[in-house]
């Protein structure tokens, strides 16, 4: 049985990668007053009229009056979710760049600590669902940086705004009804039903319909609580998700060709001129979580690093500007040393790095292209 966690949620996989060289980071969980201005609700009569028309549809779908009153009491039009939905990043990251972020030294270090800290529960999940502890932990790491960035945007307002907007109205109305159904079940409260700008929730970022289908109460307290500081139910829900989507106990996800212990399977080369990988059916199970080869390799590779595996051994070709990763890191370091903040020195040239390049070029009277180059590196 294949159940898509993020059907139509285009681009969210990249948004979970924290800002490193300029990659967009999700909102950190905090009080709603700390939300960016455009993610706070504002008056909108047309939206209010849409909510009024929506109520009978929700009731027809089984949402009772008490839940509607509680769930919609503070609902509001949130313009920032529409802006983000219509302007998701167009940058296409190479596998080398993606892995620089997904399996950064910081993410590996934090992941090993999280794996050790939650070893008992992760081992119990591995025993029950057959999904290795490090795979569950790696998904946790990519989706919310091990719980640090779960999001604090009210899910009802976010999904209602996107349903009202209409670009993917039917999809987001389903998510809105599912969010209200979560409230009706008593799993959480309206105040705690928060997540990312597009409604993905909790430690491992479930959308509401996937939550209803696959979230589990592993603690046995009667609630499937993926939002609290205790990650148990969220991690268990992720393990259940992968199992239900075809994870095979005892089979690796795959691995880099030529490395010890690499399993047999299909061969893929995500970046021309870069390393090749063999992948198994468990690779496809990971892709059910986010339908991207880069994401699935990122999860698999990060998981391997968490249990002592080394970096990718194969080499990657220079980028389209003729720069190697080492060149890009040096470029970022030089720009930063000259007072032009690149937002990190990962070797990934994201928006912050491009802004720093533009500012540097402008300060030197150079054409402001915002693009890296060997000449630019030489000038620094």
Does residue 54 share a domain with residue 191? Answer: yes
Mean pLDDT for 202-218 is 98
Please give the mean pLDDT across all residues of the chain.
91
What range does the domain containing 335 cover? 325-379
Q: What global pTM score does this model have? A: 0.90
Picking from 223, 244, 265, the residue at the C-terminal end of a domain is: 244
Query: Which is more confident, 3 or 106?
Result: 106
Percent of the chain with pLDDT over 90: 87
Angle formed by the axes of helices 79-86 and 155-165, nearest 10°: 60
Q: What is the DSSP string of 236-298?
A: HHHHHHHHHTT--TT---EEETTSTTPPP-EEE-SSTTS--EEE-HHHHHHHTTS--HHHHHH
Please, are residues 199 and 172 in contact by the beta-carbon 8 Å criterion? yes
Q: Which residue has the higher pLDDT, 16 or 164?
A: 164
Examine the domain organization and report whether 75 and 180 are in the same domain: yes
Cα distance between residue 269 and residue 244, in whole Å:
27
Domain end position, chosen among 222, 244, 266: 244
Predicted pLDDT of residue 92? 78
- Contact, 145 vs 110, CB < 8 A? yes
How far is residue 7's CA from residue 129's CA, in Å, rounded to a whole number? Answer: 24
**Model pLDDT, residue 4:** 52
- Is the pLDDT at 1 greater than 70? The verdict is no
Nearest Cα residue to 156 out of 131, 188, 126: 188
* Domain end among 189, 220, 244: 244
Per-residue pLDDT band for 259 (boundaries 50, 70, 90) equals: confident
In tens, the pLDDT along 92-128 reads 789 999 999 999 999 999 999 999 999 999 999 999 9
Asked whether residue 319 is assigned to any structural domain, the reply reads no
Helices 95-102 + 293-306 axis angle, to 10: 40
Our count of domains for the chain comes to: 2
Give the separation between CA 134 and CA 300, rounded to whole angstroms.
Answer: 9
Q: Is pLDDT of 52 > 90?
A: yes
Query: CA-CA distance, 158 to 23, in Å (whole number)?
Result: 22
* Rounded mean pLDDT, 227-244: 98
pLDDT the model gives residue 14: 39
Give 279's strand partners: 254, 266
Residue 233 domain flag? yes
Indicate whether 10 pLDDT > 90.
Answer: no
pLDDT mean over 340-349: 95
Q: Are residues 119 and 235 in the same domain?
A: yes
Terminal C-alpha separation, the chain: 55
State whether residue 201 is helix, strand or coil. strand
**Reported confidence tier of residue 87, pLDDT bands at 50, 70, 90:** confident
Reported as a single tens digit per residue, the pLDDT across 289-331 is 999 999 999 999 999 999 999 999 999 999 999 999 999 999 9
């Amino acid at each position: 049985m294949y159940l898509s966690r993020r059907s139509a949620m285009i681009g969210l996989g990249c948004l979970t990668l924290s800002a490193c060289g300029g990659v967009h980071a999700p909102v950190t969980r905090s009080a709603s007053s700390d939300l960016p201005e455009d993610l706070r609700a504002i008056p909108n009569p047309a939206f209010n009229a849409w909510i009024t028309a929506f109520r009978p549809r929700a009731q027809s779908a089984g949402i009772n009056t008490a839940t509607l009153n509680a769930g919609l009491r503070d609902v509001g039009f949130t313009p920032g979710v529409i802006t983000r939905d219509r302007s998701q990043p167009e940058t296409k990251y190479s596998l080398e760049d993606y892995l620089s972020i997904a399996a950064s030294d910081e993410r590996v270090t934090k992941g090993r600590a999280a794996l050790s800290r939650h070893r008992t529960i992760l081992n119990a999940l591995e025993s029950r669902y057959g999904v290795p502890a490090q795979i569950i932990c790696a998904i946790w790491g990519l989706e919310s940086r091990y719980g640090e960035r779960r999001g604090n945007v009210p899910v009802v307002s976010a999904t209602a705004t996107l349903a009202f907007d209409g670009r993917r109205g039917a999809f987001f109305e389903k998510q809105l009804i599912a969010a209200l159904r979560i409230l009706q079940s008593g799993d959480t409260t309206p105040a705690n039903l928060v997540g990312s700008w597009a409604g993905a929730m909790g430690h491992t970022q479930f959308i509401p319909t996937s939550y209803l289908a696959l979230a589990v109460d592993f603690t046995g307290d009667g609630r499937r609580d993926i939002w609290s500081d205790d990650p148990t139910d969220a991690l268990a829900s992720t393990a259940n998700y992968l199992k239900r989507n075809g994870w095979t106990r005892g089979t690796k996800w795959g691995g880099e060709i030529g490395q010890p212990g690499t399993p047999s399977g299909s061969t893929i080369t995500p970046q021309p001129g870069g390393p090749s990988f063999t992948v198994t059916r468990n690779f496809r199970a990971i892709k059910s979580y986010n339908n991207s080869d880069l994401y699935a390799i990122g999860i698999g590779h990060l998981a391997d690093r968490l249990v002592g595996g080394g970096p990718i051994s194969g080499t990657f070709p220079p980028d389209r500007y003729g720069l190697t990763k080492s060149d890009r890191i040096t470029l970022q370091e030089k720009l930063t040393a000259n007072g032009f903040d690149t937002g990190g020195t990962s070797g990934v040239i994201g928006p912050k790095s491009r802004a720093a390049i533009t500012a540097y070029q402008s300060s030197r009277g150079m054409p402001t292209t915002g693009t890296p180059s060997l000449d630019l590196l030489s000038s620094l």
